[in-house]
Structure 1
Amino acid sequence: MRRASFRNGALGADRLEEDLVGLILCDEGHRLQNCENQTYCALAGMKAQRRVLLSVTPIQNDLLEYFSLVHFVNAGILGEAGEFRRKYERPIVRGRDADATDNEHRIGKEKLEELIAFVSRCIIRRTNDILSKYLPVKREHVDMTPKLSGKVAVLDALLALIRSGTDDQVVLISNYTQTLDLFQQLAALRHYPYVRLDGSMSIKKRAKMVEQFNDPSSKDFIFMLSSKAGGCGLNLIGANRLVMFDPNWNPANDDQAMARVWRDGQKKDCCIYRLLVTGSIEKIFQRQTHKKALSSCVVDCEEDVQRHFSAAQLKELFILSPETTTSDTHDNVVGV
């Protein structure tokens, strides 16, 4: 069997198009979410008898991404992109709107069921429910602390509580290396033993650091992690508490990062903490909720998924709402 590896153009696309390939197998398949990028076009141009995509998060932002993935493995099943947008995306998204009329909601539901029936021919879906049968409990806490001076103060108190009352280890994750610098300053001030992984570290050093941190005899209390450098693939089961310090526009990126501790081999119940500041850009957490609800309906075929926002409300995410006594994120998401 002839096997070829296509990584960042390491093997020329023109060479791959020359011969017939029995199977194209793409891990992290959601990276083919744009049918116009070079990687997608190069792989789609190959002559292949079968194509398989593996992805935990097939929908990250919108339904057109989903179309691109389905079109890659089964071209034409959903028509062309423009046709898909008119026939499925627009009525489904409109039906999910909190201000949708009963008729729009009915049409959206019908189109959703029709879409699911089509794609079920070429999709096998497995969710985290499989893991929940043999992994410890995982709890997610969304903390909105408007009366305190800031998230670092809340993090400081949380770490002190964990350090004094448990033998648990903690993973601190941020999208920004500047925030990791703040973590280091805090850890140094409190004399917490820690390790840090970001994009400047070699693959070999990363593997050694992870192995040492997961060792039951490890003295490290905190594992500081850049989500861009280690948000996928790392197994950090040495810790059972994780703080997602800042949200990403793409909810799938956050989900991947938060899954670092709740993985095969974990023995303790897990706690995930998310800290949100009132009146800040972190209202993008609300946008995440909207995107994840759409994914739950289309990919996982869940029913009665709550419609949190209307299209008008989503456009107001960056308007400060000083009249709220807690936070508008709490009022619109947690408080419903």
Structure 2
Amino acid sequence: MGLGKTIQSIAFLQEVHGAGVRGPFLVIAPLSTITNWEREFGTWTSLNTIVYHGSLASRQMIQQYEMYCKDTKGRLIPGAYKFDALITTFEMILSDCPELREIEWRCVVIDEAHRLKNRHCKLLDSLKHMDLEHKVLLTGTPLQNTVEELFSLLHFLEPTQFPSEAEFLKDFGDLKTEEQVQKLQALLKPMMLRRLKEDVEKNLAPKQETIIEVELTNAQKRLYRAILERNFAYLARGAGHGNVPNLLNTMMELRKCCNHPYLINGAEEQIVAELRESLPTPAPPDLALQALVRSAGKLVLLDKLLPRLRAGGHKVLVFSQMVRCLDILEDYLIQKRRPDSDRFVFLLCTRAGGLGINLTAADTCIIFDSDWNPQNDLQAQARCHRIGQSKAVKVYRLITRNSYEREMFDKASLKLGLDKAVLQSM
């Protein structure tokens, strides 16, 4: 996470190419990072690199003019390619492109390789049908939830050395003893190059995380209880016909309520109407903004915190699991923005915006709601706490007190113990 995996991998491909291994090389990366990969290839290597992505028509153009060598009669020359390295996305691999399966790849580099953690995922199945001589996996979080996920990566790399999941789990499934941990570490050491931030940058600015517990507002408490009791009559107030909240996934509805009640269908109209009745007439012009802020404990806190951060000259990243929650935060920020103010807040979805991008201009990170997988939150924090960051980084994690969200965070935090026991002690 910000330790130079991209440049190190590119330098490796340049080195083996200079030693006579002519490729072709394949790089598979998230869509949001392929522009960065292309730029770094151009900066650090002399390899002829193409990006293979886009519509069918654009890919056909790439095949026609950039991929294959032809003889004097315009016929394709088998095994002769114009490019040295090809950058593509996971989506292209999943779309089952036959033109990529036909190529004998000397080496594949897979960025954010923890996407392969599910042994039965379609991505792994697609990769197994490709001719990949050597494999390099890049990830800052190889061990996220269980040892089964680690086996999936190892089996992909060395299927002959790790043929049986049952045998692997028999040896390492529970990791109850120090002997088991040491044996697993001995297996991993020859296959893994692991770096920590302090190994690469001795003077990296520190990171401090503060957990802030917020209270549910009265509006949130009423909705929270109604969701727990499955009180459809209460939840339907303010909701249009056919717009009653679906409580099939009660836990998700509780998470929505903890973030902002407007995420519950029909709640906005009900809350605005109640606030209008409680205020003297005529209603103030900022009634909608008052209702937006007052109805959510996290937004009440954010409304006090952001002005102080801006006055201190900080730039802020706000991460949330829910795109609709980011939409609500965007509405709030638009209404609060002064005409002469500069943008200092960047809203990102934790999983989409937490991979492969460098945002060291920011020095403050707000985790609006936590992920079930704590590694995703660490990935998000690493967007600003990485090599090149000259300021101390402050992380604020917002958690609703005495709620499902608090219990979820406590359980998710236990997952970090597996990573700490196996990898951090290597």
- TM-score, normalised via structure 1 length: 0.70
Summarize the Cα distance change of 1:177–1:16 in structure 2 as closer, same or farther, 3 Å threshold. closer
Structure with bigger gyration radius:
2
* Equivalence for 1:268: 391
**Which of residues 302, 314, 319 in structure 2 aligns to 1:155?**
302
Which aligned pairs between 1:141-180 and structure 2 lie closer than 5 A? 141-146=210-215, 150-164=297-311, 166-180=312-326
SS in 2 for 1:49: strand
SS in 2 for 1:262: coil
- How big is the shift at 1:224? 1.6
- How big is the shift at 1:125? 1.0
Letter in 1 for 2:375: A
SS in 1 for 2:394: strand
Which aligned pairs between 1:76-225 and structure 2 lie closer than 5 A? 76-90=160-174, 92=175, 95=176, 108-130=177-199, 133-146=202-215, 150-164=297-311, 166-191=312-337, 219-225=342-348
- How big is the shift at 1:127? 2.0
SS in 1 for 2:358: coil
In structure 1, runs of 5+ residues without a counterpart are 96-107, 195-217, 303-336
SS in 1 for 2:425: coil
- How big is the shift at 1:131? 5.0
SS in 2 for 1:69: helix
Question: How many residue pairs were aligned?
Answer: 263
Summarize the Cα distance change of 1:18–1:229 in structure 2 as closer, same or farther, 3 Å threshold. closer
Deviation track 1:145-189 (CA, whole Å, cap 9, x = no partner) reads 34887222122221132233x111111111112222332343244
SS in 2 for 1:299: helix
| Between structures 1 and 2, the one with greater helix share | 2
Among the aligned pairs, what percent are the same residue? Answer: 31
- In structure 1, what is the Cα distance between the partners aligned to 2:127 and 2:328? 42
- In structure 1, what is the Cα distance between the partners aligned to 2:110 and 2:338? 41
Over the residues paired in the alignment, what is the CA RMSD in angstroms?
Answer: 2.6
- Contact 1:172/1:224, CA 8 A, preserved across alignment: yes
- In structure 2, what is the Cα distance between the partners aligned to 1:58 and 1:242? 23
- How big is the shift at 1:234? 2.4
* Equivalence for 1:2: 24
Summarize the Cα distance change of 1:162–1:20 in structure 2 as closer, same or farther, 3 Å threshold. closer
- TM-score, normalised via structure 2 length: 0.56
Which aligned pairs between 1:14-33 and structure 2 lie closer than 5 A? 18=102, 20-33=104-117
- In structure 1, what is the Cα distance between the partners aligned to 2:358 and 2:339? 20
Summarize the Cα distance change of 1:78–1:297 in structure 2 as closer, same or farther, 3 Å threshold. farther
Which aligned pairs between 1:30-45 and structure 2 lie closer than 5 A? 30-45=114-129
- How big is the shift at 1:13? 6.2
Which aligned pairs between 1:243-258 and structure 2 lie closer than 5 A? 243-258=366-381
Deviation track 1:171-223 (CA, whole Å, cap 9, x = no partner) reads 111111222233234324433589xxxxxxxxxxxxxxxxxxxxxxx921211
Which aligned pairs between 1:57-76 and structure 2 lie closer than 5 A? 57-76=141-160
Summarize the Cα distance change of 1:132–1:158 in structure 2 as closer, same or farther, 3 Å threshold. farther
- How big is the shift at 1:288? 2.3
* Equivalence for 1:227: 350
- In structure 2, what is the Cα distance between the partners aligned to 1:132 and 1:37? 36
